[in-house]
Amino acid sequence: MIDKKTLEKSATLSRLHLNEEEQGLLLEQMKRIIGHFDNLQKVNTEGVEPLYKAVEMENVWRKDQIFEMTDPEKLLSKSPEVQEGQVKVPQVVK
């Protein structure tokens, strides 16, 4: 079951900050949701292979060809900050 500590851990893994009010509300909601998820334990799944993709698929091979995708300048134009053809981020190493 989820508690304050597991919620905090999940928030850290998710790179999300929760204030105290959000934490309280989310904890209560997630307890209910996970309580519902716990019903799955009633189903006997011994020996059942987990299914990750519902439609059967084969490996796909293609030729290793070079083709033009998009202009690097255009790609960089999406970035919040750019300097000398590089994406700029705050200094993170002292």
- Our finding on whether 21 is near other proteins (CB under 8 A) is no
Is there a contact between 76 and 82 (Cβ–Cβ < 8 Å)?
yes
One residue of 5, 20, 21, 53 binding other proteins per CB under 8 A? 53
One residue of 5, 20, 21, 60 binding other proteins per CB under 8 A? 60
Tokens for 46, please give them. 């011994």
- Our finding on whether 83 is near other proteins (CB under 8 A) is no
One residue of 3, 4, 9, 24 binding other proteins per CB under 8 A? 9
Provide the sign of the torsion angle of the four alpha carbons 38, 39, 40, 42, taken in this order. positive
Q: Please give the C-alpha separations between residue 70 and each of 32, 60, 63, 73, 74, in angstroms, as whole numbers.
A: 46, 24, 20, 9, 7
- Our finding on whether 66 is near other proteins (CB under 8 A) is no
Is there a contact between 89 and 79 (Cβ–Cβ < 8 Å)?
no
Could you list the residues that contact other proteins (CB under 8 A)?
A: 2, 6-7, 9-11, 13-18, 25-26, 29-30, 32-34, 36-37, 39-41, 43, 45, 48-55, 57, 60, 62, 69-71, 74-75, 78-81, 87, 89-92
